[in-house]
Amino acid sequence: MQFQSLGVLLWFLPVAGFIILLYLLKVRRREVRVPAKFLFPAITTDVRANALFQRLRPNLLLFLQLLAALLLLTALARPMIQAKGLPGQSVIVVDTSASMQATDVAPSRLEAAKNRLRRFVQELNPGEQLAIIEAGAQVRVLASLTSDKQKLLNAISQIQPTDTAGNLDEALRLAAALVGKSDESRIVLLSDGAFPPVSDFSAGSAKLVFESLGASSDNLAITAMDVQERTGGLEWFVGVRNFGSQPTKAILEFYAGDKLIDARPITVEAGQTIGQTLTARQLPEPLEARLKVDDALPSDNRAFRVGVAQKPVRVLLVGEGNFFLERALALEPNVKVDKAPSVPDSERGERVGGGNYDLVIFDRTAPVPVKARAVMVIKAQGGPIAALGQPVRTPRIVLWEREHPLMRYLELGSLLIDSAPRLTPAPWAKTLAESQQTPLIVAGEHQGRRWVGVGWDLLESDFPLQPAFPIFVANLMRWAVGEQGSATDLTVRTGVPFSLAVDPAETELAVRDPDGNTRTYPVNDGAVVIPGVERAGVYTIQGRKTEIRVAANLMHADESNIQPRTSIQLGNQTVAAQNTLTTLRDLWKPIALALLALLMVEWWVFVRRS
């Protein structure tokens, strides 16, 4: 037992002394002569008990009053005991990423987390509330703060495993927003810790508790797969990594068109990666690499590939680097991005064609002639698209060409720009967005090459944080590469959103997952955004005039490294894992009830004696 104010108990000595002193004090009475004292037995007894300096006789009232004083001071000292469960309001964040499917904890880590959740619900006391947040690729609040146990149990039954990386940072920030203002609240993370450090996070006044799940790191995973054209055929490469602590043997199988075409034994040393290559003249799709091995995580033992014949769109980003732009480009399927401080000599040239890149983006870097058939210039002097003049402070976009392919579905009226130079477009360039003082986005075709000019530094605006930014990048890819950007079979990573350009006559597309379940998505003017798929495998996307196959793979080192973490990094804080979760519960309320009952007994004894 612990006390919040242990010093209050020391007051029992003077309080008890004062009560005893009252019993020792002699009561002043007026003397009255009576004919016989047997008529007043109670009075004589009272006189004897209150005789000064005499030894106290046993007195039930005195004992009850001392006990009442002790209970009162004990309640004021706020005693607390350790108990199972969570106090006040608490949020449980459940990691549903791929690594939580590991079977080193029977039947799986995720099922162990769900069982732990059920115990939290059963231990819930009256007046306490729980909320449940699912942290997969998409963060979902399964149950808001409630004390309804049945509602919480129903929410737990909705938790399903995924083959994606978990969005733990967003889930934890949401939990902090729910209970971060109360110092009696808890944020409990049920996870194996298989996720990158979370930066810029604070739990506020709430206490954060991390319960680690898992017991083993033994796992063999396919971490890379690619198919390249070579002289005389195709070369299929598969990378396999051993995340365990012991050498592991397995059989690597190659399937093409659902038929086994090769199988070979492999041995991977602990912590090492090996590569296996298969060369063939033709490879009917879909392609699948499969590991036959007894390990804890089956999700990363298979990898799929479609769209081998389709060449990826290659983008060169020239400049110091732009995290937001790189991330938006990475969301686009079948796009490969390279970064460089300057354009390599092999990519320079006045004529279109002959280079390795389809699009070159000059971010705050003076453009040079390149072989790519599309060029984007971001706040850079030089090039034929536009000239930069004097800066304009806080320009606001008032007009934009909503029908142009680059500007479709964009809402730019709330865009905040700190500063932008005055833009003078070339005669062949069209203004797509402008403020009252200057054009801000221009585009056009010149000498067989498509050009896009953005007049301000993206990092000096909130454009990268707006929903319109990834849409703008998707529009850019489709417009810049032309017909090559039309929808064909493609390979994506699970949990990552991607967009497709389809026939404008389509109104909706049906996505059928590997288990045969179907979900529909609306099509707007020939574009559809898929918010990511949760299971690895080959998906079919169908419409009235569209049929596309999409291969989805995990291929995420953080998820395949299933070693349970003993601590995690959240912001500037290192949170150690706890195996058991206990809390301190106040006892002053039951003590106060006992005090009231005791006072009633004391009053009854006093009345009986009177």
Q: Where are the domains of the chain?
A: 2-82+588-609, 86-215+564-580, 313-485, 493-553
**Cβ 562 vs Cβ 32: under 8 Å:** no
How far, in Å, CA of 484 to CA of 313, rounded?
8
pLDDT digits (tens, 9 = 90+) for 148-198: 999 999 999 999 999 999 999 999 999 999 998 888 889 999 999 999 888
Return the CATH class of domain 493-553. Answer: mainly beta
Count of CB atoms within 10 A of residue 95's CB?
24
The amino acid at residue 475 is N
**Cβ 326 vs Cβ 337: under 8 Å:** yes
Q: Which residues in the chain come in under a pLDDT of 70?
A: 1, 24-30, 37-57, 80-85, 309-310, 482-487, 525, 579-586, 610
Produce one character per residue of 436-474: b if its CB has 16 or more CB atoms within 10 Å, e if not: eebbbbbbbeeeebbbbbbbbbbbebebbebebbbbbbb
Would you give the DSSP letter of residue 124?
P
Report CA torsion sign: 495, 497, 502, 505. positive
How far, in Å, CA of 126 to CA of 146, rounded?
11
Count of CB atoms within 10 A of residue 306's CB?
20
Count of CB atoms within 10 A of residue 76's CB?
17
How far, in Å, CA of 489 to CA of 474, rounded?
17
Pairing status of strand 220-230 against strand 233-242: antiparallel
If you search the block for the tokens 């109360």, which residue do you land on?
182
**How much is the pLDDT for 41?**
61
Phi-psi region of 543 (alpha: psi -120 to 50; beta: other; left: phi over 0): beta
At the topology level, CATH places domain 313-485 in Rossmann fold (3.40.50)
**Cβ 376 vs Cβ 438: under 8 Å:** no
- Map residue 5 onto helix, strand or coil: coil
CB contact set of 554 (below 8 Å; sequence gap of 6+): 98, 163, 164, 299, 300, 493, 494, 536, 560
Both tokens assigned to 294: 């007894």
The residue ranges of DSSP E strands in 554-610, in sequence order, are 567-570, 573-576, 582-586
**How much is the pLDDT for 63?**
84
**How much is the pLDDT for 93?**
96
Q: What is the pTM of this model?
A: 0.66
Rg (CA), the chain: 37
Distance (Å) of CA 124 to CA 76, 190, 257, 287: 26, 17, 53, 50
The residue ranges of DSSP E strands in 341-416, in sequence order, are 359-363, 374-378, 386-393, 399-400
CB-side neighbour CA atoms (13 Å) of 316: 25
Longest Cα pair distance anywhere in the chain, in angstroms? Answer: 138
Fold equal for 86-215+564-580 and 313-485: yes
**How much is the pLDDT for 421?**
93
**How much is the pLDDT for 36?**
72
Element (H, E) at 579: none
Q: What is the CATH number of domain 86-215+564-580?
A: 3.40.50.410
Q: What angle in degrees, to the nearest 10, is found between the helix axes of 588-609 and 60-76?
A: 160
Would you give the DSSP letter of residue 99?
G
